[in-house]
Amino acid sequence: MSDQSNPFDAMMKQAQDMAKAFNPALENFSPKGFETLWPTMPKEVMEFWFGNTVNKDGLDAKTRLLITLAGLTMQGAQADTAVRQTVRHAVEAGARKQEIVETIGQMSVFAGIPAMTRAMELAQEAMGETEDNQE
């Protein structure tokens, strides 16, 4: 009765087996596919909800998204989807690639090189999926 397997791996295997039983198409499921369910919001919508439309003297949507990206980097860039979506939204809100790179790079001082490196990898993935002619 001394099973040496990782309990998390066993739980994931059980969940995958159950998903396959419900729907065989879920055999090749990837959580990254969820990102396609959440499209990038237009800049005007972000400005209305997150920018200075409500608070005239407040931060604009681009600045808020760069701050969010800094916070996600500070947490070790562990939330892959959140980092990629934040980068895509920041680009849509007018952030240039250089601003995104500087935001992440600045966090290396506080979060460490591994967190910065991971955030940069995720940002590059996201920026590769978007058109950015503002370099």
DSSP 80-96: HHHHHHHHHHHHHTT--
Question: Token pair of 5, please?
Answer: 């397997």
**Contact of 46 with 89, CB cutoff 8 Å:** yes
- How crowded is residue 77: how many other Cβ atoms within 10 Å of its Cβ? 24
Task: Evaluate whether residue 52 is within a structural domain.
Answer: yes
Task: Evaluate whether residue 15 is within a structural domain.
Answer: no
Q: For residues 110 and 132, which has the higher predicted lDDT (pLDDT)?
A: 110
The domain that holds 70 is classified in CATH as: 1.20.1290.10
**Contact of 83 with 121, CB cutoff 8 Å:** no
- 8-62: pLDDT as tens digits: 777 777 777 877 787 777 666 666 666 666 677 777 777 777 666 667 777 888 9
Distance between CA atoms of residues 12 and 24, nearest Å: 16
- 112-121: pLDDT as tens digits: 999 999 999 9
The count of structural domains within the chain is 1
Task: Evaluate whether residue 95 is within a structural domain.
Answer: yes
Task: Evaluate whether residue 96 is within a structural domain.
Answer: yes
Task: Evaluate whether residue 118 is within a structural domain.
Answer: yes
Task: Evaluate whether residue 42 is within a structural domain.
Answer: yes
Task: Evaluate whether residue 24 is within a structural domain.
Answer: no
SS3 track for the chain: CCCCCCHHHHHHHHHHHHHHHHCHHHHHCCHHHHHHHCCCCCHHHHHHHHCCCCCCCCCCHHHHHHHHHHHHHHCCCCCHHHHHHHHHHHHHCCCCHHHHHHHHHHHHHHHCHHHHHHHHHHHHHHHHCCCCCCC
pTM (global) more than 0.85: no
Residue range(s) defining the domain that contains residue 81: 32-128
Distance between CA atoms of residues 111 and 7, nearest Å: 30
Task: Evaluate whether residue 25 is within a structural domain.
Answer: no
